[in-house]
């Protein structure tokens, strides 16, 4: 069988490296499954193509248009997933491992697509927070915004998640409007290449939005500029080399690093052997050791238990680990597959030997392993290895050395403070788990360890069944960690998109700011002329369109009627003396909800029309009490619009209710659904 030669996808074409081909071996059989090279790629040309072709094309699209592209890419990957699973097996991954990578990758695209459509505007500027009042008269305001960076996202991935690793970065970069150059780890580049092919073949990506380099990045770093972002996942040593590249330093290139991590798990002091939390902890440690043969940046490397439970925990872990069958990941019976390569396996063995200077191996054999499947050549297989270190304060390496395989060290702690201090000796990690049924213990852990961990997962009997597990980063939650973990952050929904954008503080008149951000700002011009804004369809409604109502006086009878009608007879509305004794009220006052209801009665235009439904209120504040005899009036102004589909869109209205003295009574955003 001829061995395929992987191709780079650069400057709009598939390009085979000119010589210098590197063999990539199957983790399972050791045979060459692909050859690759990036020799001959014009890296400056690749960057220029992204900057001058991909960037402008992406920046023309709104967040929603980009989000729809992500959805189509996710669909294409899902449709062709079986092709990817086949290749994934050669990386040593079982079907379950492959699921995390392939379907987890597509899921990340779907999720970011949906976040993009729900939480980002159908525009190219993202508003960050409310306008800031920075002048007495309100003629000069401040507003933070994000716009797409005019550079390239250079996405460098580790070998362990060739699909997910690419897509978690790509989804946020594309959504932000930044073109990407993907550089997978050579060892598993054939799977990334296949996934990129699927995405390119959809025809949905604008020209230049995605390029692929399968092999070395040559002199690419020498041509980076300050608008670029490098997002790197891999070892601490490579991260250090790349982030201290002279060009990265001199140009101020944004660098996001996700690297090694000595993630910890703590069995709470309340979780004795007879509790569900003890069993959950044992299951999770074993799962984290064996999923993806432990080649997960988030895997539990250090497991801490109360000193008195060391023997019980060791026995329970060993009992479970002994049931793990190892072998050809294509076989259903194989619970754990291979490490990615014989070299990686050798490295893991060496790291275990280092750890074994401070800890005892209590399960597993690093010299030999029993594997199932005729195809499986033993070189890249290793059994799960559990170490036990009874003196975690005397030890150093167990907190520093990451054996990137099915390896974990069990350690005792004296009390909760000791457990927290030990967990923090990892000096920064991606995730920590705590198994406790006690919320106070969990809070103490978060206070003591939050600063050291990018994610903390608390697992107990109530949530275990639905828990996504210690080791699974989710698109909606941030992934990354301080210190040793690289100090980077990715994903977290829209948070992850912002890493590829620039935040700018705008200052100017309300009118100009409103025009820039396409959202009416208080103080900007309004149009209070006919017709009533509720008579205008979504497409006809201009921002700033306003209605200013006539006043309405609120009587004591109104307040009493409302109180008895709704059942809200709270004393502040009903009892003059008690209301007066309250520090906020001069006497009996109108209900806040009465004010809202009367406000609606004042501004609503009742006949059927383009306004289809009231969708809710945001940022509601009651500012001045309304006493019987006071009168209120309302100003309602179209603030922003978001198309939902071909039939209707969401209109956000700025509402200000004032009293007869012009004092603010209530302020809120009203949301309506309006016909297109
Ligand atoms: P690695 O050797 O550091 O490689 C990572 C990536 O960097 C690969 O794509 C590699 O490409 C590339 N690279 C290496 N030298 C480079 C250079 N001079 N210029 C540009 N790119 C270069 O790491 P790995 O062995 O693939 O991955 C294992 C490590 O990654 C573990 O330590 C693990 O903890 C960490 N990891 C962290 C996370 C996280 O999210 N924090 C996730 C997964 C893995 P080549 O393969 O072509 O050399």
Distance between CA atoms of residues 14 and 83, nearest Å? 20
pLDDT band of residue 363 (cuts 50, 70, 90) is: very high
The answer to whether the CB of 340 is under 6 A from ligand 1 is no
pLDDT for res 378: 84
The answer to whether the CB of 491 is under 6 A from ligand 1 is no
CA atoms within 13 A on the CB side of 152: 29
Distance between CA atoms of residues 236 and 243, nearest Å? 10
Mutate to test the pocket of ligand 1, among 235, 262, 407, 492 (most ligand atoms within 8 A of CB): 235
Q: Is the pLDDT of residue 368 over 90?
A: no
For the chain, the structural domain boundaries read 7-120+150-235+246-255, 264-473, 526-675
Looking at the annotation, which residues are catalytic? 258, 297
Are the C-beta atoms of 6 and 193 separated by less than 8 Å? Answer: yes
Q: Is the pLDDT of residue 1 over 80?
A: no
Nearest-5° Cα angle at 41, 149 to 221: 45
Minimum CA distance residue for ligand 1 atom 5: 234
Distance between CA atoms of residues 488 and 475, nearest Å? 15
What's the pLDDT tens digit per position in 420-435?
Answer: 999 999 999 999 999 9
Minimum CA distance residue for ligand 1 atom 19: 217
What's the pLDDT tens digit per position in 321-350?
Answer: 999 999 999 999 999 999 999 999 999 999
Q: How far is the CA of 195 from the centre of ligand 1 (A)?
A: 19
The answer to whether the CB of 238 is under 6 A from ligand 1 is yes
Q: How far is the CA of 179 from the centre of ligand 1 (A)?
A: 21
Ligand 1: which atom is nearest the Cα of residue 183? 9
The answer to whether the CB of 183 is under 6 A from ligand 1 is yes
pLDDT (mean) for 631-650: 94
What's the pLDDT tens digit per position in 437-459?
Answer: 999 999 999 999 999 999 999 99
Ligand 1: which atom is nearest the Cα of residue 238? 3
In the three-class reduction of DSSP (H, G, I as helix; E, B as strand; rest coil), residue 232 is classed as strand
Which residues sit opposite 658 in a β-bridge? 633, 664
Identify the sign of the CA torsion 512, 515, 516, 518.
Answer: positive
Q: How far is the CA of 182 from the centre of ligand 1 (A)?
A: 13
The answer to whether the CB of 185 is under 6 A from ligand 1 is yes
Q: How far is the CA of 233 from the centre of ligand 1 (A)?
A: 6
The answer to whether the CB of 673 is under 6 A from ligand 1 is no
Alpha-helix runs per DSSP H in 326-438: 342-355, 416-424
Minimum CA distance residue for ligand 1 atom 35: 234
Please give the structure tokens belonging to residue 119: 């939480």
In the three-class reduction of DSSP (H, G, I as helix; E, B as strand; rest coil), residue 87 is classed as helix
Distance between CA atoms of residues 59 and 52, nearest Å? 11
Please give the structure tokens belonging to residue 206: 């604008």
The answer to whether the CB of 181 is under 6 A from ligand 1 is no
The per-residue DSSP string of 456-511 comes to: EEEE-TTTTTT---TT---TTSEEEESGGG-SEEEESTHHHHHTTEEEEEEEE-HH
Ligand 1: which atom is nearest the Cα of residue 488? 41
pLDDT for res 643: 86
What's the pLDDT tens digit per position in 111-139?
Answer: 999 999 999 999 999 999 999 999 999 99
Are the C-beta atoms of 48 and 23 separated by less than 8 Å? Answer: no
Distance between CA atoms of residues 57 and 49, nearest Å? 11
pLDDT for res 644: 85
Please give the structure tokens belonging to residue 671: 């949301």
| 202 cis-preceded (ω within 30 degrees of 0) | no
Q: How far is the CA of 192 from the centre of ligand 1 (A)?
A: 14
Share of the chain above pLDDT 70, in %: 100
Q: How far is the CA of 185 from the centre of ligand 1 (A)?
A: 6
pLDDT for res 374: 85
Distance between CA atoms of residues 258 and 484, nearest Å? 9
The answer to whether the CB of 257 is under 6 A from ligand 1 is no
Distance between CA atoms of residues 140 and 325, nearest Å? 69
Indicate if 526-675 has the same CATH topology as 7-120+150-235+246-255: no
Distance between CA atoms of residues 454 and 432, nearest Å? 8
Residues contacting 407, CB < 8 A, separation 6+: 289, 294, 301, 348, 351, 352, 355, 384, 385, 386, 387
In the three-class reduction of DSSP (H, G, I as helix; E, B as strand; rest coil), residue 141 is classed as strand
Q: Which residue bears the tokens 């289809």?
A: 612
Domain 7-120+150-235+246-255 in CATH 3.40.605.10: yes
Separation of first and last alpha carbons in the chain: 58
Minimum CA distance residue for ligand 1 atom 23: 234
Minimum CA distance residue for ligand 1 atom 11: 185
C-alpha dist (Å) from residue 88 to 53, 327, 348, 358, 596: 33, 15, 21, 36, 58
Ligand 1: which atom is nearest the Cα of residue 260? 34
Q: Is the pLDDT of residue 4 over 80?
A: yes
Q: Is the pLDDT of residue 620 over 90?
A: yes
The answer to whether the CB of 37 is under 6 A from ligand 1 is no
pLDDT band of residue 603 (cuts 50, 70, 90) is: very high
Q: Is the pLDDT of residue 238 over 90?
A: yes
**CATH code, residues 264-473:** 3.40.309.10
Ligand 1: which atom is nearest the Cα of residue 215? 47
pLDDT (mean) for 571-597: 97
Q: How far is the CA of 173 from the centre of ligand 1 (A)?
A: 19
Minimum CA distance residue for ligand 1 atom 4: 234
Residues contacting 169, CB < 8 A, separation 6+: 153, 155, 157, 180, 231, 233, 490
Minimum CA distance residue for ligand 1 atom 16: 238
Q: How far is the CA of 253 from the centre of ligand 1 (A)?
A: 19
Q: How far is the CA of 186 from the centre of ligand 1 (A)?
A: 9
Q: How far is the CA of 402 from the centre of ligand 1 (A)?
A: 14
Mean pLDDT estimate for the chain: 96
Among 340, 349, 347, 351, smallest CA distance to 184 is for 340
In the three-class reduction of DSSP (H, G, I as helix; E, B as strand; rest coil), residue 650 is classed as strand
The answer to whether the CB of 168 is under 6 A from ligand 1 is no
Q: What is the DSSP letter of 137?
A: S
Among 662, 592, 611, 612, smallest CA distance to 634 is for 662
Among 297, 282, 267, 264, smallest CA distance to 422 is for 264
Orientation angle between helical segments 95-119 and 189-201, nearest 10 degrees: 40
Options 2.40.30.10, 3.30.420.10, 3.40.50.300, 3.10.129.10; CATH for 526-675 is 3.10.129.10
Backbone phi, then psi, for 323, in 5-degree steps? -90, -5
User: What distance lies between CA 278 and its chain's CA centroid?
Assistant: 30
The per-residue DSSP string of 507-570 comes to: EE-HHHHHHHHTS--TTS--B--SS-GGGS-TTTPPTTBEEEPPPEE--HHHHHHHHHHHS---
Distance between CA atoms of residues 579 and 542, nearest Å? 43
The answer to whether the CB of 217 is under 6 A from ligand 1 is yes
Strand (E) or helix (H) holding 303: strand 302-306
Ligand 1: which atom is nearest the Cα of residue 473? 40
CB atoms within 10 A of CB 596: 18
Strand (E) or helix (H) holding 601: helix 592-603
pLDDT for res 113: 98
pTM: predicted TM-score of the whole model, two decimal places: 0.92
């Amino acid at each position: 069988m001829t061995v395929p030669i992987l191709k780079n996808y650069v400057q709009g074409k598939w390009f085979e490296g000119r010589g210098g081909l590197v063999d990539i071996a199957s983790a399972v059989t050791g045979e060459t499954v692909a050859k690759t090279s990036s020799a001959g790629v014009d890296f400056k040309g690749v960057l220029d193509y992204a900057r001058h072709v991909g960037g402008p094309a992406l920046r023309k699209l709104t967040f929603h248009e980009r989000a729809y592209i992500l959805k189509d890419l996710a669909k294409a990957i899902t449709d062709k997933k079986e092709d990817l699973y086949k290749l994934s097996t050669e990386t040593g991954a079982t079907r379950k491992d492959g699921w995390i990578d392939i379907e987890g990758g597509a899921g990340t695209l779907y999720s970011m697509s949906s976040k993009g459509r729900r939480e980002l505007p159908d525009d190219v500027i993202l508003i960050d927070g409310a306008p800031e009042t920075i002048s007495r008269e309100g003629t000069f305001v401040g507003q933070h915004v994000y716009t797409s960076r005019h550079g390239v996202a250079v996405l460098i991935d580790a070998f362990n998640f060739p699909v997910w690793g690419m897509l978690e970065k790509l989804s946020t970069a594309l959504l932000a409007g930044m073109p990407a150059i993907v550089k997978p780890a050579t060892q598993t580049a054939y799977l990334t290449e296949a996934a990129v092919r699927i995405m390119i073949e959809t025809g949905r990506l604008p020209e230049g939005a995605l390029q692929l380099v399968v092999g070395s990045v040559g002199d690419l770093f020498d041509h980076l500029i300050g608008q670029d972002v490098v997002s790197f996942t891999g070892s601490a040593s490579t991260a250090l080399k790349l982030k201290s590249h002279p060009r990265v330093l001199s140009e101020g290139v944004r660098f996001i690093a996700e690297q090694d991590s000595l993630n910890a798990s703590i069995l709470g002091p309340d979780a004795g052997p007879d509790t569900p939390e003890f069993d959950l902890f044992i299951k999770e440690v074993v799962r984290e050791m064996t999923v993806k043969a432990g080649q997960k940046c988030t895997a539990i490397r250090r497991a801490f238990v109360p000193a008195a439970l060391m023997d019980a925990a060791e026995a329970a872990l060993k009992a479970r680990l002994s049931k793990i069958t190892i072998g050809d990941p294509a076989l259903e019976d194989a619970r754990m597959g291979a490490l990615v390569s014989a070299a990686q396996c050798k490295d893991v063995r060496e790291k275990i030997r280092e750890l074994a200077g401070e800890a005892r191996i209590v399960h597993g054999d690093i010299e030999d392993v029993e594997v199932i499947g005729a195809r499986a050549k033993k070189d890249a297989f290793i059994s799960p290895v559990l170490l036990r270190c009874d003196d975690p304060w005397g030890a150093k390496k167990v907190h520093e050395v990451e054996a990137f395989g099915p390896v974990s060290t069990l350690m005792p702690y004296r009390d909760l403070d000791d457990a927290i201090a030990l967990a923090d000796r990892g000096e920064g990690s991606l995730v920590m788990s705590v198994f406790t049924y006690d919320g106070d213990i969990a809070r103490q852990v978060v206070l003591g360890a939050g600063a050291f961990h990018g994610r903390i997962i608390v697992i107990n009997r109530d949530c275990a069944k639905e828990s996504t597990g210690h080791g699974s980063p989710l698109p909606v939650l941030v992934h990354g960690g301080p210190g040793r973990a690289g100090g980077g952050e990715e994903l977290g929904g829209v948070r992850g998109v912002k890493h590829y954008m620039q935040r700018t503080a705008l200052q100017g008149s309300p009118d100009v700011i409103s025009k820039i951000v396409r959202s009416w700002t208080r103080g900007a011009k309004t149009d209070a002329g006919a017709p009533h804004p509720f008579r205008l369809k979504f497409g006809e409604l201009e921002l700033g369109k306003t209605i200013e109502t006539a006043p309405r006086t609120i009587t004591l009878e109104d307040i009493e009627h409302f109180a008895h009608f709704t059942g809200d007879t709270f004393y502040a509305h009903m009892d003059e003396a008690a209301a007066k004794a309250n520090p906020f009220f001069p006497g009996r006052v109108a209900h806040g909800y009465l004010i809202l209801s009367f406000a609606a009665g004042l501004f609503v235009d009742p006949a059927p029309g383009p306004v289809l439904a009231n969708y809710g209120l945001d940022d509601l504040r009651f500012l001045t009490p309304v006493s019987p005899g006071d009168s209120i009036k309302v100003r309602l102004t179209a603030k922003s619009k978001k198309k939902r589909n071909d039939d209707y869109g969401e209109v956000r209205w700025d509402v200000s209710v004032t009293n007869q003295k012009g004092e603010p009574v209530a302020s809120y955003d009203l949301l309506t659904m309006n016909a297109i």
